[in-house]
Amino acid sequence: MAVALITGITGQDGSYLAELLLSKDYKVVGVVRRSSTSAFERIEHLLDDITTVQGDLHDQGSLLGLLEEYRPTEVYNLAAQSFVPTSWNQPALTGDVTALGVTRMLEAIRFVDTKIKFYQASSSEMFGRVQEVPQSESTPFYPRSPYGVAKVYGHWITVNYRESFDLFASSGILFNHESPRRGLEFVTRKITDGVARIKLGMQKELRLGNLKAQRDWGFAGDYVEAMWLMLQQDQSDSFVIGTGETHSVREFCEIAFGHADLDYKEYVVKDERFYRPAEVDLLISDPSKAYSVLGWEPVVGFKELVTVMVDEDMERLSTGTK
Ligand code: NAP
Ligand code: F7E
């Protein structure tokens, strides 16, 4: 039986990946860090079918112990301090988890079983101040936040362990992907939650930062399929995953508010607190390698993504389900 160990299983991507792997009859082992309250909101519906185990990317021993005990065939390293603004407030922690955490997992694989296939969750934030448009696997990196810098380290240590120790270690350079399970602090979910609250009379305005920023936004459910495909190849490699389209935060607002018959201009208030010390102005992927080698393509388009997220937030807030 294929056994997958997922770090970050309580996060957005971890929950979709666990669903995908269960549908393919994997035994799924999810690493969760100890907390005084439960962080299982996104995986509550899966708890009967997965095994959750305590571990932390800060702690080398916990990773070694988990690999020894569960002997996974595949490891998906999704855990990270993933919120870009927090990385300026907690740069050392971000480096410890998001960068060095990758080395700790690779070291655990090297010591326990070099046949384990490894997936690293790399990010389009590595392109930062973009050196080329669109961005592909060969585009040079120019990260613009401590998070982006940490992800560059995570990417290169993955490549280095592939080349140094012949590990099957793949790096997925994923552009922004969203869903109704996205954390509420990320701009897409902040907007769709805000639209629903305004529509339901629970909130009067929505305070945002830079509306000009452009992102290549896809659906998280589509992107976890690409992660799995990367580990089914004959050789490990690095792949850019995105839609090949870019849209601004303003466009996201227009569609999200419009879907609720509202005009964003009447509700969105610019707030300096949400601007960043250094911004990533434009991201747009060239995912042609993933299309041709993995046979992967996104299914959910931009407008559908926005409207589904608004609908789900309306449903959640109007029925008080979560
Ligand atoms: P997310 O929702 O923020 O989830 C992050 C996960 O990491 C959570 O399960 C969190 O646990 C866990 N975690 C944090 N620190 C940890 C530690 N020290 N030890 C063990 N687990 C820890 O992120 P996501 O959107 O699902 O993204 C998944 C991965 O892809 C991340 O590495 C992210 O940086 C990367 N990525 C995301 C995107 C995107 O657009 N979503 C794009 C490119 C790359 P708690 O629940 O306990 O906090
Ligand atoms: O910001 C602008 C902000 O926080 C997107 C993570 O998953 O994707 C994500 O990082 C843009 C930025 O995502 C607000 O300035 C305007 O330009 O939703 P975000 P992100 O920084 O792109 C990458 C690929 C990852 O790897 C990360 O882990 O939106 N923006 N106003 C705002 N952003 C936020 N959060 N809040 C605002 O009010």
Instruction: Encode pLDDT of 205-231 as tens digits.
Output: 999 999 999 999 999 999 999 999 999
Q: Is 128 left (phi over 0), alpha (psi -120 to 50) or beta?
A: left
CB neighbour list of residue 261: distance below 8 Å, 6 or more residues apart: none
Q: How far is CA 221 from CA 19, 168, 177, in A?
A: 9, 24, 9
Q: What residue spans define the domains of the chain?
A: 3-177+218-241, 183-215+245-283+299-319
Strand segments (E) across 217-287 = 218-219, 238-241, 247-248, 268-270
Mutate to test the pocket of ligand 2, among 147, 214, 215 (most ligand atoms within 8 A of CB): 215
- Closest-CA residue to 221 (of 285, 158, 174): 174
Residues having CB within 6 Å of any atom of ligand 2: 82, 84, 123-125, 175-176, 185-188, 190, 208-210, 213, 215, 249, 274, 276, 279-280
With cut-offs at 50, 70 and 90, classify the pLDDT of residue 320.
confident
Q: Which residues pair with 206 in a beta bridge?
A: 268
Q: Which residues pair with 178 in a beta bridge?
A: 219
CB neighbour list of residue 142: distance below 8 Å, 6 or more residues apart: 127, 128, 129, 130, 131
Assess contact for 14 and 81: CB atoms under 8 A: no
176 ligand 1 Cβ < 6 A? yes
Residue 82 has pLDDT above 90, yes or no: yes
Ligand that lies nearest to the alpha carbon of residue 192, given by its number in the listed order: 2
29-53 confidence digits (pLDDT tens): 999 999 999 999 999 999 999 999 9
Q: Please give the Cα distance from 180 to 188 (Å, whole number).
A: 9
Percentage above 70 pLDDT, the chain: 99
- CA 16, 305, 225, 130 torsion-angle sign: negative
Mean pLDDT of 58-71: 98
- CATH architecture for segment(s) 183-215+245-283+299-319: Alpha-Beta Complex (3.90)
Estimate to the nearest angstrom the gap between the alpha carbon of 169 and the chain centroid.
18
Phi/psi of residue 270, nearest 5 degrees: -75, 135
120 ligand 1 Cβ < 6 A? no
Q: Which positions are catalytic?
A: 123, 125, 147
With cut-offs at 50, 70 and 90, classify the pLDDT of residue 142.
very high
* Cis amide leading into 134 (omega within 30): yes
- Closest-CA residue to 98 (of 62, 54, 145): 145
Closest ligand 1 atom to 82 CA: 34
Q: Which amino acid is present at 142? A: Y
Mean pLDDT of 128-141: 98
Mean pLDDT of 194-203: 98
Write down the pTM of the prediction. 0.98
Estimate to the nearest angstrom the gap between the alpha carbon of 271 and the chain centroid.
26
Mutate to test the pocket of ligand 1, among 6, 46, 78 (most ligand atoms within 8 A of CB): 78
Mean pLDDT of 112-135: 98
Q: Please give the Cα distance from 313 to 259 (Å, whole number).
A: 12
With cut-offs at 50, 70 and 90, classify the pLDDT of residue 8.
very high
* Cis amide leading into 277 (omega within 30): no
Angle at 296 between CA 142 and CA 219, to 5 degrees: 70
At 71 the pLDDT is 98
Q: Please give the Cα distance from 306 to 253 (Å, whole number).
A: 9
Ligand that lies nearest to the alpha carbon of residue 210, given by its number in the listed order: 2
Give the number of other Cβ atoms within 10 Å of residue 307's Cβ.
16
CB neighbour list of residue 267: distance below 8 Å, 6 or more residues apart: 194, 198, 204, 205, 206, 257
> Residue holding tokens 């799995």?
228
At 322 the pLDDT is 56
Name the CATH superfamily, with its identifier, for domain 3-177+218-241.
NAD(P)-binding Rossmann-like Domain (3.40.50.720)
Q: Quick one: tokens of 23?
A: 């549908």
Q: Quick one: tokens of 194?
A: 């805000």
Distance 258 CA to ligand 1 centre (A): 31
**How many alpha carbons fall within 13 Å on the CB side of residue 269?**
8
